[in-house]
Structure 1
Amino acid sequence: MERYIYNYDKHVKPSFEEFILPSKKHADIIIPRGSDNDVAIDLIVQHIRTKLGQHDLCKIYQNLFVIPSTFQIRGMHTLIRDVKTRKHDFVFYADRLIRLVVEHGLGHLPFTEKQIITPTGSIYTGVVFCKRLCGVSVIRSGESMENALRACCKGIKIGKVLIQREGNDRQLIYEKLPKDIASRQVLLLDPVLASGDSAVEAISLLLNKGVSESNIIFLNLIAVSSIRSMLLLFAPEGIHTVCGQYPRLKIVTSEIDSGLNEHSRVIPGMGEFGDRYFGTGGNDSTPFLPKNNK
């Protein structure tokens, strides 16, 4: 026993103090009580798993946020992407997904701390979010997201923009925005971010109206990206186009699709969202066949 105490005092402890202890100042995290601290270790493990589970693009673009994937979300995507899904079911599950995206997007709004008194007389320290908020929907598919936004933000102002495709170009046809939009946080609504051309046109309009780039949160169900786009072997697609031009804007989406085919259709995609949602691409007794997403 004396030998162990001698080795500890003469070798282990001096080595720790000389080599290990000084390195603590360089550590990002120090776990008190070491391996006995199960709570701290579980938190670190969960953080690592979250980072490993992030989409690779989220590591490249710090302003891209994909809501955490669950079997429920994958199941709803399976239903709205299925060509055999009828309008009523498509709208029901699309609305559920839209609500999740909207709520996740609201979580990125600026906030301040606030203390309130609960009915028990206790003090609760919470937060209050920015009140100067508005939505802007890209006509027409973006209008499908308005009900979810209104359900989450009572009395919110919503502007509209209409962008028409002319060959490979996009042209602004119509816009009606709140007069004080420059002083507001803006939630831009469009279910599918495909090539990004329409998004760039809408964002440019908002910037010209005085909206700060960092005050724009772009919400969609599907955003498009691909490895070939990242390597610039082909024209940049959705995520790269928007994130590349507007690094301070935030994108919140529920899934990332692999790219566009030679006909500019999103792959795997879900068909023409506006037609399927509003019932203009068929009738309720027949399935909707895929068309261009943009």
Structure 2
Amino acid sequence: MLMADETTSIDYVMEKASGPHFSGLRLSPSTTSSPRTPASSATPAFTESDQPIVIGVSGGTASGKTTVCDMIIQQLHDHRVVLVNQDSFYRGLTAKELERVHEYNFDHPDAFDTEQLLECMGRLLSGHSVQVPIYDFKTHQRCTDAFRQVNASDVIILEGILVFHDPRVRNLMSMKIFVDTDADVRLARRIRRDTVERGRDINSVLEQYAKFVKPAFDDFVLPSKKYADVIIPRGGDNHVAIDLIVQHIRTKLGQHDLCKVYPNVYVIQSTFQIRGMHTLIRDKDISKHDFVFYSDRLIRLVVEHGLGHLPFTEKQIVTPTGSVYMGVDFCKKLCGVSIVRSGESMENALRACCKGIKIGKILIHRDGDNGKQLIYEKLPKDISERHVLLLDPVLATGNSACQAIDLLIQKGVPEAHIIFLNLISAPEGIHCVCKQYPTLKIVTSEIDVLLNEEFRVIPGLGEFGDRYFGTDD
């Protein structure tokens, strides 16, 4: 788990980011009796190209969650961002519960109407506006004649002490943030808030804290911390952590814009582990050994997600326990094609994922002719009958890629049977490839900002082949 702090080093980030919560996506293909291709196996439901990003913010009472949310919203002023508070979905107390309100546990999961929260989030994710209830903390009832209108947006921030507790709510989120603040600081803030804003006396606040708030924190809130992708110590005072989060969200928003334009572009789900590996391989001072190590890890993720777009058929097998398991059978007619020489860096990952796979090669002269001179090609003779994973770690102008794709099509490979895998893509390259080949798929781990006047990807990572094979001296 990544602790976003001013003192956090990259080595510490990568050590912490290797925990179980950063495991890859698990795909559950829908049942079918005929071959098919998953519509989007590189992104979960919440990152479909036509859906907003959902950011979950949790933490103990008065930890500074709302302050963190407000700071994120302020920095994302050029995007449509809305805040949904879990507190709005408190259940109204019955007359009997009101008689003994001092014994009611407002920090227990049962205090919330999670079904209505899910309904509201579902409508927002579908692009509809919703009316969020308003809860009166003095009367412990929802306002019957007033609602808060929340419109469809690019980013939905869902904030509350227990937003990580229910897996149905948790699974809506593309990023989960836990605000970690000292218990004494939280108690002091809660006393100030409840006495000033909610009309309670200090004794009742302390009694409620000792009887309900702290036990509920230990039983429900603190255990949910393990689901967080990033932890912010000191809440709103940690400006470095918030800046990192905003930068990450901006990157995802930029990727979503292109994914909306081109539904055949797939960006693998970004985590802070993936972001950390990108930070490492983009660093000009990283050692060659580390560059190769973390590049190989990222390449493996891209290859795995690319394989998720291949057609599959259902297959029934019997397990060692004698049980019947309905699974899927891999695509048999498959090959890889690397664009020499950078693409050769992706071959080992492909071989590790696909035992005995055939791999062809294409060499294109890139300098001085817009990448449109074919030098060499060696492809499987039956390539027209196969699905092709085209390998090149960087998609820049797209000229070399288009030359390679043209050659594959000339060899009889259907355009829809080509999946182009790369680590980073420039918007110019995506436009170039997708406009010419709308049924081809592109799977990448990040979309960068632009190309400079020298046609280099910015921020990019330099000449990948030279850095990977050690010929950049």
Unaligned runs of 5+ in 1: 1-34, 226-236, 283-294
Separation in 2 of the partners of 1:112 and 1:88? 40
1:281 aligns to 2:451 (yes or no): no
Aligned equivalent of 1:245, options 423, 427, 436: 436
1:179 match: secondary structure:
coil
Correspondence list, 1:89-108, <5 A: 89-108=290-309
Q: Which amino acid aligns with 1:208?
A: Q
Q: Deviations over 1:227-260 (max 9, x none)?
A: xxxxxxxxxx100000111010000000001111
* 1: CA distance, partners of 2:415 / 2:390: 12
Match of 2:405 in 1: 203
Distance apart, 1:59 and its partner CA: 1.4
1:1-294 alignment runs, 5 A limit = 37=115, 44=122, 49=173, 55-169=256-370, 170-225=372-427, 237-282=428-473
* Alpha-carbon distance in structure 1 between the residues aligned to 2:171 and 2:401: 33
Q: C-alpha distance in 2, partners of 1:96/1:107?
A: 17
Return the alpha-carbon distance in structure 2 between the equivalents of residues 248 and 39 of structure 1. Answer: 38
Alpha-carbon separation, structure 2, partners of 1:202 and 1:64: 18
Q: Residue 25 of structure 1 corresponds to which residue in structure 2?
A: none
Look up the equivalent residue of 1:245 and give its one-letter code: Q
Q: Deviations over 1:21-68 (max 9, x none)?
A: xxxxxxxxxxxxxx6758975994667655x97622111111000000
Question: Which amino acid in 1 is paired with 2:459?
Answer: P
CA apart distance, 1:168: 3.7
AA paired with 2:277? M
TM-score by length of 1: 0.76
TM-score w.r.t. length of structure 2: 0.48
**C-alpha displacement of 1:165:** 2.3
Question: Which SS does the other structure have where 2:316 is aligned?
Answer: strand
- 1:26 aligns with none
Distance 1:143 1:42, change over 3 A: farther
The one-letter code of the counterpart of 1:266 is V
Q: Once the two structures are superposed, what CA deviation does each residue of 1:142-200 show, in whole Å capped at 9, x if it has no partner? A: 00000000000000000000000252432000000000000001000000000000000
Change (3 A) 1:184 1:43: farther
What is the distance in 2 between the residues matched to 1:176 and 1:206?
Answer: 11
Q: Distance in 2 between matches of 1:220 and 1:279?
A: 20
- For residues 279 and 40 of structure 1, the distance between their equivalents in structure 2, rounded to whole angstroms, comes to 52
Structure 2 letter corresponding to 1:244: K
Q: Secondary structure at the match of 1:199?
A: helix
Q: Structure 2: which amino acid aligns with 1:99?
A: R
Task: Tell me the secondary structure at the aligned position of residue 127 of structure 1.
Answer: strand
Cα deviation per residue 1:85-144 (whole Å; 9 max; x = unaligned)? 111110000000000000010000000111111111111111112111000000000000
Secondary structure of the structure 2 residue equivalent to 1:55: helix
**SS at 2:338 equivalent:** strand
What secondary structure is seen at the aligned counterpart in 2 of 1:219? strand
Structure 2 letter corresponding to 1:206: L
| AA aligned opposite 1:260 | L
Q: Deviations along 1:69-89, whole A, 9 cap, x unmatched?
A: 100000000000001011111
Which residue in the other structure is 1:288 paired with? none
3-state DSSP class of the match of 2:374? strand
Q: Distance in 2 between matches of 1:219 and 1:200?
A: 13
**Structure 2 stretches of 5 or more lacking a match?**
1-112, 123-168, 175-251
Query: Partners of 1:270 and 1:214 in 2: how far apart?
Result: 30
Amino acid at match of 1:131: K
Instruction: Tell me the amino acid that sits aligned with residue 144 of structure 1.
Output: S
- Sequence identity, in percent? 72
Matched length:
237
Q: 38-47 or 273-282: which moved more?
A: 38-47
Give, as a single letter, the amino acid of the residue that structure 1 aligns with 2:266. Answer: F
SS in 2 for 1:270: coil
Distance (Å, rounded) in 1 between the aligned partners of 2:115 and 2:338: 49
